[in-house]
Chains A and B, each alone.
Chain A
Amino acid sequence: MANSMPVVQPISARIADRVSAQTMAIPWYIWCCLTSVVSAVVGSEWDISWHKSIGRDSFWTPAHILIQLSGVLAGIACGYLILWTTFNKRSPLRDVSVSMWGFRAPLGAFLCAWGGVAMVTSAPFDNWWHNSYGLDVKILSPPHVLLALGMTGIRFGTVVMILAEMNRAQGLYRAKLERVLFVAVAFLMGMTVGIMQEHTNRVFMHGATFYAVIMFTAPIVIAMMAWVSDNRWAATIMTAILTVVNLALVWILPLFPAQPKLGPVYQHVTHLVPPDFPLLLIVPAVVFDLLRQRTLTWGRSRQATTLGAAFLASFIAVQWPFAHFLMSPASRNAIFATTNYPYAVPPMSPWVRNVFVPTEASVGEFWVRMAIALAAAVVMTRIGIAWGEWMRRIRR
């Protein structure tokens, strides 16, 4: 009997967890925010593909509607949540909320609301920008960055809301929330890395600037994910989700027919142009998780230095030769989709000619920027660790 106790107790505990997980449903506002994030992800990728393939759009394209739906959904859900928590004295969320400007709500709700206001602000700013400087057919412009900040606010707010709930939960319910968290953080990294996609085209992959850009945007999220989760493979799982989503876009979007409606047209386009083949971030993510498990007892700065340097080294080790492959005829197929050029890319562009573009003027400058990439990898990993440790403590 005494020997059977250790077996019986875990079983009952597991049953209790399962019951808890079934009865403890993920709150509606988390689903709303997650739906808002997915809506923005699909809308943004669709919109970018639309601009690459068709060109002309209006306020009411399906892609724009999805992006606007994202802001509206997050805004209404979090606005209601803030008002309900503030004015309903019996709201169970009052004890797990923070106060701001006399309102009370979970911290994530305020972040999502902030993101919604930023998205709304970007609209008239962007419209004036078009009238004043012409339609900006690029991702990185001040009004677009403000829009991206708003979208990031909603994604980060969603992550914070899930984490607050997760950090208060136990057992299977916590595991359930963690699975949702992986998806939310993957989309957050999709935002931080994706906003820089004009600098991560394959033509730049043999320049140090490309690696510096990735080190400024990826390790911070990967480190945060690894530190907020109990899962030993958190960074790998999260990066794998992002990679699968990006692969799905690469393979699904070309299935839809499309024709340019703007000119001049330089490329014969017959279908929606997908994004570039995803970066091989999965490899440094695996290296990150492996090394983290072996350095748990180290000091945080030493750990960040090791993990950051390993992240950069492993990323260069796979992405550099992979860039050669992406430039080769072997990649010109439906799997790697390296011949899907936007209609407005001239035939003499290095992209179309599969020629690397040097981003540094000299060998010396190349190594200086590589040093910057290394420093960025270490510093951003350290910030990500601190960020993750703080996020682990979030209860509200």
Chain B
Amino acid sequence: MKIAVQSRWLAILAFLLLAAWPLCAHVGSPDVYYEGDAGPYHLFVTVRTPPVIPGVAEVRVRAVSGGVQAIRIVPLRLTGPGSNLPPTPDLAEASKDDPQFFTANLWLMEEGALQVRILADGPQGNGELSVPVASFAQRTLPMPKPLAGLLFGLLLVLTVGVISIVGAGAREASLEPGATPGRTNVRRARIAMAVTIVLVLALLYLGRTWWGIEAASYERRVNFYKPPKAETTLENGNRLVIRAQGNDPRWSVRINMERVIPDHNHLMHLFLISLPGMEHMWHLHPAKAEGGAFVDDLPSMPAGKYQIFADVVDERGFPWTLTGMTELPSISGKPMMGDDSSWSGEPLATTQAHSTVSELADGTRIVWDRANGPLKSNVAIDFKFSVQDKDGKPVEDLEPYMGMAGHAELVRSDFSVFAHVHPSGSVAMASLELAQASLLGDASSMPAGMVMAGDTGVSGPLPPVLSFPYGFPQPGDYRIFVQVKRSERVETGVFDAHVD
């Protein structure tokens, strides 16, 4: 009983805290943006995940290439059981204003790594693609006051009602027709009502306790999917050791960090961003160590506080972003090698200024081809960037960077939002590979801009224009890091944006 009472208070505390906390899972950007081909049709897909699971996701599909007559969608598990038995597909509704824009509501019944399969029909035949979706409970809702008042009133009626019914039954139910209750009947009724009051109060107490336990249980599910903490230690002056610590005790039992899967060539993508103004950023790739830890021999970097974001994908295809903060001394490390990269420059502008051109060291520049007007939160945007030489001409020497035309990291000024996106969208590439693998025999569904290293189909330079489908999850000031590779050198362009 003590545990039950404790659980109730924990649930109440959880309610209070949730009302004040911002969303911070994955990190603060739960919606999915994806661009890819369903057979002959090029689609831009947005999946707005529900805040509670089971809950209804809103799926929007824009047929960029046109010619789509119908869109159907089905949810499946990303891997294992449940990934091969689709339910009856939902037919998306075409917009009256734009017949190539489709919307549908889709129930996500389970947490974990799911996929939403999109089936497109049109005169060019049928095509399908699969979008990995990280499904997880994000929050609970406090009860609105009017509803609480209504339910309290009805509960009062029911409580007083059942006591009165018991009283009436004990007083009069056994009387012969026409007889009036005597003093014995009245006394019996009072005793019955007193006993009922005790029973009803006990029942209400048990009900409230049960409610509290259910709420606490749900809260544990919410905590389970919150970004795990990145616990760091510095060894030998420059060796950073990272260990994941979940927000729920079951996390380390269920998520095996020793069995994370490669995500575009690396098991972990580590981003160290200097606090508070993001003047420095490192994109590193730690190696796996014993016991589920990851280690990286840091390059030279100035002393200071750094925000940590570390992307991994678990064996089921669910993406996790470890978050944390570390204070490092001045480090004299090794030169960066391989896919590691860094950037240093001016701090984030918080004067609602927008930057659309980022000058690179050798005089080339990355230009953000953004539409006029303010940026809006929760709106799907195709972020287009072009890489130009010092004369403003498109460069011709872009190479795949970790198998893709480019990478972009979008970070909110308070670090409550972090998204690592690619030309195919906000999905983790490892999850996407699992989703594509489930589409057996459909080679046409390779995601946009994904040119995996070693792919025999890649030869010669990449086009100088990149696009990243994404939507800002909330208003605020953001810094966008855009990374491309030219002549075996990683270049990072930086843009600041204010979102209304």
State the A residues within 8 Å of B (CB).
55-56, 95-101, 107, 110-111, 114, 117-118, 120-121, 124-125, 128, 130-135, 137, 141-142, 145, 160, 164, 168, 259-268, 343-344, 346-348, 390, 393-396
Contact = CB atoms under 8 A, between A and B. Distances in A.
Contact of A128 (B74, B110, B147, B168): B147
Given A133-B52, A396-B173, A125 B165 contact: no
Interface of B: 50, 52-55, 74-77, 81-83, 85-88, 90, 107, 109-110, 114, 137, 140-144, 147, 150-151, 154-155, 157-158, 161-162, 164-165, 167-169, 171-178, 207, 210-211, 214-215, 218
A100 B167 CA distance: 9
B56 to A, nearest CB: 9
| Most chain B Cβ neighbours within 10 Å, of A120, A141, A259, A266 | A266
Contact of B164 (A101, A130, A263): A101
A123 to B, nearest CB: 10
A265 B157 CA distance: 42
Given A117-B158, A135-B55, A263-B76, A100 B107 contact: no
A261 B85 CA distance: 11
A264 B110 contact: yes
B110 to A, nearest CB: 6
Given A110-B168, A265-B86, A135 B54 contact: yes
B256 to A, nearest CB: 18
Contact of B87 (A55, A142, A168): A55
A142 B214 contact: yes
Q: DSSP majority for the B interface?
A: mixed
B83 A264 contact: yes
Given A133-B214, A396-B173, A268 B85 contact: yes
A137 B54 contact: yes
Nearest to A393: B174
Contacts of A344: 109
A266 B83 CA distance: 8
24 contacts: A95-B177, A98-B171, A110-B168, A117-B154, A117-B157, A117-B158, A124-B147, A128-B141, A137-B109, A141-B214, A142-B207, A261-B87, A262-B87, A262-B107, A262-B109, A263-B87, A264-B81, A264-B114, A265-B76, A265-B82, A265-B87, A267-B85, A346-B81, A395-B175
Contacts of B74: 263
A134 B54 contact: yes
Contacts of A347: 81
A141 B158 CA distance: 19
Given A107-B173, A265-B87, A95 B178 contact: yes
Contacts of A348: 81
A121 B165 contact: no
Nearest to B153: A121
Given A134-B137, A260-B87, A121 B155 contact: yes
B164 A100 contact: yes
B174 A395 contact: yes
Contact of A133 (B77, B140, B157): B140
Contact of B85 (A130, A132, A266): A266
Nearest to A96: B177
B168 A262 contact: no
Given A55-B107, A118-B158, A134-B137, A259 B88 contact: yes
Nearest to A168: B177
Contact of B82 (A117, A124, A266): A266
| Closest CB pairs A-B (n = 4) | A264-B82, A134-B52, A263-B75, A98-B172
Contacts of B155: 121
B109 to A, nearest CB: 5
Nearest to B222: A133
Nearest to B141: A132
Contacts of A130: 52
Contact of A121 (B82, B154, B218): B154
Nearest to A127: B147
A56 B109 CA distance: 10
Contacts of B171: 98
A395 B143 contact: no
Contacts of B168: 98-100, 107, 110
A259 B87 contact: yes
Given A99-B168, A107-B169, 19 more contacts: A55-B87, A55-B107, A98-B169, A99-B172, A110-B168, A114-B162, A121-B151, A124-B147, A128-B147, A132-B140, A134-B53, A134-B55, A262-B107, A262-B109, A264-B76, A264-B85, A265-B87, A267-B85, A346-B81
Contact of B88 (A261, A264, A268, A396): A261
A142 B107 contact: no
Nearest to B165: A110
A91 B167 CA distance: 23
| Most chain A Cβ neighbours within 10 Å, of B90, B154, B168 | B168
Contacts of B154: 117, 120-121
Nearest to B84: A265
| Most chain B Cβ neighbours within 10 Å, of A120, A131, A145 | A131
| Most chain B Cβ neighbours within 10 Å, of A95, A98, A135 | A98
| Most chain B Cβ neighbours within 10 Å, of A114, A133, A394 | A133
| Most chain A Cβ neighbours within 10 Å, of B88, B110, B173, B178 | B173
B172 A266 contact: no
B141 A131 contact: yes
A307 B455 CA distance: 77
Contact of A395 (B107, B173, B215): B173
B86 to A, nearest CB: 7
A111 to B, nearest CB: 6
Contacts of B107: 55-56, 135, 262
Given A259-B87, A266-B81, A132 B143 contact: yes
A38 to B, nearest CB: 23
A128 B215 CA distance: 13
Given A133-B52, A263-B87, A114 B109 contact: no
A265 B85 contact: yes
Contacts of B87: 55, 259-263, 265, 343
